[in-house]
């Protein structure tokens, strides 16, 4: 930036500014007119004189040059000198003149004279508190004011009231009357209003009860709407909070029917009675260990039993819980149990003092419990509408060791029974709420963020991610009693099997090969649905591991 080539341009710019200056001179003019009057009112003898330093713009002489150009040439005036100085120094800007105008307006405001005047004429004090141009009238309720006037008409002059009334379009000299009784209370019938309250969630959701027995599928995806196989399950308890079926990797389905537990070999179709709950109690949960060799059975009494499936013998009973074991989850040799009192215990099945950890994070019954496949995280859902994720590491072997949840989510508004980890994206956790919530939330368990939410037409009773597809299965209770398949991550409905059971679908599990889903319900049926296919290349492997579940069922027919 060299000054030399710039100077001509700058000069020409200052010349170009001249059209603005008449307004400046006009402002100065108005000042000269205004200030003597003000000072006169002050009563001081101070007279404006040309050399007034406080106001460099002050120019009392009547032979004031009309344009600053002229002033600049005359050279005798302070204003133009200072301007010239500024111009020479290169500080004059486009806003220079305007800022000078600001100075004038500031000077124009008379706070000090006001003070002096207030001594002599106290009546005029608050007049100067207001700006003359901006009304600072408080925001007030005109109608209320008028109403006050209406009640007390003598407080204001009648003309003023009339004008105000006209402006606010309010009637004057009129009475505002209301009937002496209050209108009747809307819901006179308490039973009716209670019923309304109960059915409200059913009306509130989209798609609820549109067609009660319909099944819809995506056009690009065909899903069998009929179950592949139906098994009778007499005495199956219709209780939302229990978890009564489990499908092992050895292709064995364990079912708890009342006080007895049965094992159904999917390959052969044979049924073996495993054991009974103690007199007066019932089986509240079953779960197979990861290798499929052992079966954990939770009792209504709070005991957890360990059974060897192969020899059909009870290995041990692990007591300690005081309420029913609504859910069980295995991780290696650790069997975790969710109890009716809200506690979760880790039982190490190998050692005598089996209780190795207690997780306290639920105020209500724990009814959903799932280990992540790698055993690092444990997700739990409870009747207190809370979803907790726990660090899976089992701490000090100490009866009293307690842990706090890695994170806690309270978004659900009803009991959380359905929790599911995603097999192909380990950080994903899905959780679903009960009747009043009926919402599925998908969480990123690494960050704790809620990724997706989906409201469904009915209570969510169980959730599973499809092993070989980017899909999420959910089962639902009244009124749809449906099995739904949602695409992930779009959460669009891929398929829905309405009225999959005659009553609410309560339990579900996925076959080890990942193609068939078994559901159980209060209508005392177990139904097997072929919802997915085992992908071709992984088919052989899955076939080996799954023991050819599909063929087994077909052979039985």
Partner 1 sequence: MATKQAPTRQAITLKGSTAIVTDFFKFAVNTILYQRGVYPADDFHLVKKYGQVVMLTQDLALENYLNKILQQVQKWLVSGGVTQLVLAIISKDSRVTLERWVFDINLQNPPAESADEAVAAKPESVIQAEIRDILKQIVSTVTFLPTMDEPTVFNILAYTSESADVPADEWVDTDPLAIEASKSQQVKLRSFSTDIHRVEAMVAYRYEG
Residues that bind partner 1 (CB under 8 A): 139, 141-144, 147, 168, 170-171, 173-184, 186-188, 193, 196
Closest to partner 1 by CB, 142 vs 363, is 142
Min. distance of Cβ 186 from partner 1 in angstroms?
A: 5
Token readout for 488 is 């992930």
Phi-psi region of 202 (alpha: psi -120 to 50; beta: other; left: phi over 0): alpha
Handedness of CA 245, 247, 248, 251 (dihedral sign): positive
Closest to partner 1 by CB, 89 vs 144, is 144
Closest to partner 1 by CB, 6 vs 196, is 196
- Cα-Cα-Cα-Cα torsion 403, 407, 411, 417, nearest 10 degrees, comes to -50
Closest to partner 1 by CB, 160 vs 196, is 196
Please tell me the distance from the alpha carbon of residue 309 to that of residue 313, in angstroms, as a whole number. Answer: 7
Please tell me the distance from the alpha carbon of residue 467 to that of residue 424, in angstroms, as a whole number. Answer: 7
Closest to partner 1 by CB, 37 vs 182, is 182
Min. distance of Cβ 201 from partner 1 in angstroms?
A: 16
Closest to partner 1 by CB, 172 vs 491, is 172
Token readout for 207 is 């798609």
Give the 3-state DSSP-derived string for 79-115, with helices as H, strands as E and coil as C.
Answer: HHHHHHHHHHHCCCCCCHHHHHHHHHHHHHCCHHHHH
Q: Is 423 exposed, middle or buried (0-12, 13-18, 19+ CB in 10 A)?
A: middle
Closest to partner 1 by CB, 51 vs 183, is 183
Closest to partner 1 by CB, 196 vs 316, is 196
Min. distance of Cβ 148 from partner 1 in angstroms?
A: 11
* DSSP characters over 517-537: EEEEETTSEEEEEE-----HH
Min. distance of Cβ 117 from partner 1 in angstroms?
A: 35
Please tell me the distance from the alpha carbon of residue 243 to that of residue 336, in angstroms, as a whole number. Answer: 14
Min. distance of Cβ 203 from partner 1 in angstroms?
A: 10
Min. distance of Cβ 207 from partner 1 in angstroms?
A: 21
Closest to partner 1 by CB, 43 vs 171, is 171
Min. distance of Cβ 187 from partner 1 in angstroms?
A: 6
Please tell me the distance from the alpha carbon of residue 242 to that of residue 325, in angstroms, as a whole number. Answer: 8
Please tell me the distance from the alpha carbon of residue 448 to that of residue 406, in angstroms, as a whole number. Answer: 9
Residues in contact with 209: Cβ distance below 8 Å, sequence separation at least 6, in sequence order = 202, 457, 479, 480
5 backbone dihedrals φ, ψ, rounded to 5°:
-70, -15
Min. distance of Cβ 200 from partner 1 in angstroms?
A: 11
Min. distance of Cβ 164 from partner 1 in angstroms?
A: 12
Token readout for 211 is 């067609």
Min. distance of Cβ 171 from partner 1 in angstroms?
A: 6
> b vs e for 534-555, b when ≥16 Cβ sit within 10 Å of the residue's Cβ?
beeeeeeebeebbbbbbebbee
Please tell me the distance from the alpha carbon of residue 460 to that of residue 206, in angstroms, as a whole number. Answer: 15
Min. distance of Cβ 105 from partner 1 in angstroms?
A: 30
Closest to partner 1 by CB, 123 vs 178, is 178
Min. distance of Cβ 438 from partner 1 in angstroms?
A: 20
79 backbone dihedrals φ, ψ, rounded to 5°:
-55, -55
Closest to partner 1 by CB, 180 vs 557, is 180
CA proximity to 500, closest of 473, 516, 469, 477: 477
Closest to partner 1 by CB, 112 vs 175, is 175
The DSSP call for residue 243 is: B
CA proximity to 389, closest of 374, 398, 378, 400: 378
């Amino acid at each position: 930036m060299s000054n030399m080539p710039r100077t001509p341009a700058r000069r020409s710019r200052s010349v170009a500014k001249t059209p603005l200056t008449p307004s400046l001179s006009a402002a100065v003019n108005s000042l000269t007119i205004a200030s003597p009057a003000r000072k006169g009112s002050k009563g001081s003898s101070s007279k404006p004189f040309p050399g007034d330093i406080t106001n460099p713009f002050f120019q009392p002489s009547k032979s004031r040059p009309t344009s600053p150009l002229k002033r600049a040439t005359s050279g005798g005036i302070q204003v133009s000198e200072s301007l010239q100085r500024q111009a020479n120094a290169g500080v004059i800007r486009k806003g220079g003149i305007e800022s000078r105008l600001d100075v004038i307006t500031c000077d124009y405001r008379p706070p000090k004279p006001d003070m002096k005047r207030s001594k002599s004429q106290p009546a005029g004090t608050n007049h100067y508190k207001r700006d003359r141009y901006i009304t600072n009238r408080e925001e007030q309720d005109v109608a209320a004011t008028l109403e006050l006037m209406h009640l007390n008409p003598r407080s204001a002059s009648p003309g003023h009231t009339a004008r105000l009334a006209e402006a606010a379009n309010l009637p004057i000299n009129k009475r505002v009357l209301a009937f002496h009784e209050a209108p009747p209370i809307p819901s006179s019938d308490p039973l009716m209003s209670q019923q309304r309250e109960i059915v409200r969630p059913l009306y509130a959701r989209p798609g609820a009860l549109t067609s009660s027995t319909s099944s819809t599928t995506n056009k690009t995806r065909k899903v069998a709407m009929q179950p592949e196989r139906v098994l009778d399950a007499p005495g199956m308890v219709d209780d939302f909070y229990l978890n009564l079926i489990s499908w092992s990797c050895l292709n064995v389905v364990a079912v708890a029917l009342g006080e007895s537990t049965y094992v159904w070999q999917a390959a052969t179709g044979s049924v073996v009675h495993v054991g009974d709950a103690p007199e007066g109690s019932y089986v509240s949960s079953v779960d197979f260990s990861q290798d499929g060799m052992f079966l954990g059975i939770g009792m209504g009494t709070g005991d957890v039993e360990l059974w060897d499936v192969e020899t059909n013998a009870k290995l041990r009973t692990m007591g300690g819980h005081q309420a029913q074991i609504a859910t069980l989850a295995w991780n290696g040799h650790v069997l975790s149990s969710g109890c009716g009192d809200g506690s979760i215990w880790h039982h190490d099945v190998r050692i005598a003092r089996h209780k190795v950890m207690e997780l306290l994070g639920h105020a209500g019954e724990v009814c959903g419990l799932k280990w992540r496949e790698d055993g690092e995280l444990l997700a739990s859902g409870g009747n207190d509408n809370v979803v907790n994720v726990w660090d899976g590491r089992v701490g000090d072997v100490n009866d009293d060791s307690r842990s706090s949840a890695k994170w806690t989510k309270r978004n659900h508004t009803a009991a959380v029974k359905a929790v599911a980890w995603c097999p192909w994206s380990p950080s994903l956790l899905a959780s679903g709420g009960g009747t009043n919530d009926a919402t599925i939330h998908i969480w990123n368990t690494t960050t704790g963020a809620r990724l997706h939410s989906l409201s469904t037409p009915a209570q969510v009773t169980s959730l599973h991610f499809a092993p070989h597809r980017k899909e999420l299965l959910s089962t639902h209770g009244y009124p749809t009693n449906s099995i739904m398949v949602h695409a992930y991550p779009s959460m669009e409905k891929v398929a829905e099997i309405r009225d999959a059971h005659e009553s609410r679908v309560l339990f579900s599990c996925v076959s080890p090969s990942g193609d068939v889903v078994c559901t159980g319900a209060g209508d005392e049926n177990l139904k097997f649905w072929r919802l997915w296919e085992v992908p071709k290349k992984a088919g052989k492997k899955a076939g080996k591991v799954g023991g050819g579940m599909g063929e087994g069922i077909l052979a039985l027919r």
